[in-house]
Amino acid sequence: MMPLKRKQFMRDFILILANSGLRVGEARNTVAKENYMTPKEVSAAFVAAHNAHDVDKMMSYLTEDSVMIDVAAPIPLDSKKDVRKLYEMIFAAIDINFEITGMIAEGNKVFAAIRTTGSGIGVWMGKDLKGAKCEVFEGMFAEIRGNQIEKTMFYSDTATLSQQLGDYSPAIDMDPEVSDIM
């Protein structure tokens, strides 16, 4: 059985070829351009899925072997499964929103400046956050492969975020001797 994405590609390819009078190579390039997202678009789509609290959509923008480092995460992020767990925990406890205030890209690398705001709606790391507010500025650095994020690193004011969200402890060890956490 053909994977769904490949089936859709083939359907699009056949329709373009049949309706356009293009040769096979021209039609193939047209389909590829229609499905291509720039690195900025991939990063913005990930943020839009985050703001919709759509974990499945967020995961669709991460490669299977993606690496995510978030210095504010309360759990280790050793796999895509861990990233899913983190966002499910966040969305159950905090109505959180990312506002991209600036974005730059070079090649397949993107840096987005983000204003993060949220209101507590549940329990976070054992503490009831209902009514609590958070607001910090963060940065998201991403490396893109195709239409997916291969590596992501979030930089944030972890001390302020921890205070605003019940004094939880981030899981990552940011010891000065650690030379490369990617």
Q: What is the pLDDT of residues 54-86, one digit of tens each?
A: 999 999 999 999 999 888 888 788 889 999 999
Task: Flag whether the pTM goes above 0.85.
Answer: no
pLDDT at position 91 is: 95
CB contact at 8 A, 110 and 39: yes
Question: Which residue type, as a one-letter code, is found at position 54?
Answer: D
The residue among 73 and 48 whose pLDDT is bigger is 48
Beta-strand pair 148-156/62-70: parallel
pLDDT at position 72 is: 80
Judged against a pLDDT cut of 80, whether residue 12 lies above it is answered with no
Look over the chain and give the mean of its residue pLDDT values, rounded to a whole number. Answer: 81
CB contact at 8 A, 172 and 181: yes
Report the share of the chain in percent with pLDDT over 70. Answer: 71
Judged against a pLDDT cut of 50, whether residue 29 lies above it is answered with no
Q: What is the pLDDT averaged over residues 13-24? A: 55
Task: Report CA Rg, the chain.
Answer: 19
pLDDT at position 10 is: 60
Report the share of the chain in percent with pLDDT over 90. Answer: 53
Q: Tens digit of pLDDT for each residue in 132-178?
A: 898 999 999 999 999 999 999 998 877 777 777 766 666 555 455 54
Tell me the Ramachandran region of residue 66: left when phi exceeds 0, alpha when psi lies from -120 to 50, beta otherwise: beta
SS3 for 141-179 is: EEEEECCEEEEEEEEECHHHHHHHCCCCCCCCCCCCCCC
